Amino acid sequence: MVKGPAGALYVDDGGKGGVPVVFVHSSCGNTTHWAAQLAHLRKHRRAVALDLRGHGKSAPPEDVDITMEDFARDIAAVVDGLGLQRFVLVGHSMGGAICAAYAGQHPDRVAGLFLLDPASDARAIPAEQSAGLMQVLATEAWSAVIEEFWTPMLAASRPEVRERLLSQMRATSQAGARAGLGALLTFDPVAALRRYPGPRLSVITAFNEEPGSYQRLVPELPFRKVDGTGHWVQLDAPDVVNDLLDGFLATVR
């Protein structure tokens, strides 16, 4: 565990050599989503995954009215606590937004930014709709609402992957889930991405080709598309993600 800005943060740390890679999971995710990538990379370099506040084995947040920059402070606490000076960031979905926020704040620390189906820019959602979503997420119906939203993104996943993700979502603290989704509603990914000049790659699926997708908002952001998977690409096609990550890491100095 590492002391975070809002409580203890669980960290899965292992391997040695090379530029370290730090993995950040999605909303309602945890470090286990990266098991295949951690095992793959730790053969020849250090790889670290963390549970964000309110997720996995980390402490729940005291305040649900937080920002992506607040979540980025979880990354800061972990890398500083582990003594990592320069590293590659890998973020999935909401984790991609958090990694972009950190990279925009600390471009000199980030050797490369690998985004896996990152969350879209949600600022275009009408205020009334956003407020309604946050109200529902404060009720007992919160997990049912998230499950309904996730269903299309899980359609291409294997049954065991779908059940695993839904089970982990229900086990996530309500405060953590609500805080993360609320933070996405106000985050400006364009400004953050344009403050980071280093190596970048966004790996997207069919669910990430809308107007608010990062590669459309920031045309200079390189991207690759993976077909035939759900949103949780690292669970549906771990070998594909590992190959893409290897290729990206080969460009990082």
- Mean pLDDT of the region 213-226: 97
The upper half-sphere exposure of residue 52, i.e. CA atoms within 13 Å in the direction of its Cβ, equals 33
Long-range contacts of 212-219 (CB under 8 A, 24+ apart): 212/120, 212/121, 212/122, 212/124, 213/120, 213/121, 214/96, 214/100, 214/115, 214/118, 214/120, 214/121, 214/189, 217/121, 217/189, 217/190, 218/189, 218/190, 218/193, 218/194
CATH number of the domain residue 11 falls in: 3.40.50.1820
**pTM of the predicted model as reported, rounded to 2 decimal places:** 0.96
Domain limits at 186? 2-249
Q: Check: CB of residue 197 under 8 Å from CB of residue 83.
A: no
Q: Confidence class of residue 61 from pLDDT cuts 50, 70 and 90?
A: confident
Q: How many beta carbons lie within 10 A of that of residue 186, not counting itself?
A: 11
Beta pairing partners, 3: 8
Instruction: Give tens-digit pLDDT for 77-91.
Output: 999 999 999 999 999
Q: Confidence class of residue 64 from pLDDT cuts 50, 70 and 90?
A: confident
Q: What confidence score (pLDDT) does residue 123 get?
A: 92
Q: How many beta carbons lie within 10 A of that of residue 43, not counting itself?
A: 9
Q: Check: CB of residue 12 under 8 Å from CB of residue 48.
A: yes
The three-point CA angle 195-48-105 to 5° equals 15
Q: What is the share, in percent, of the chain residues with pLDDT greater than 70?
A: 100
Is residue 124 pLDDT above 90, yes or no? no
Tell me how many domains the chain contains. Answer: 1
**Nearest in space to 146 (alpha carbons), one of 117, 172, 183, 126:** 172
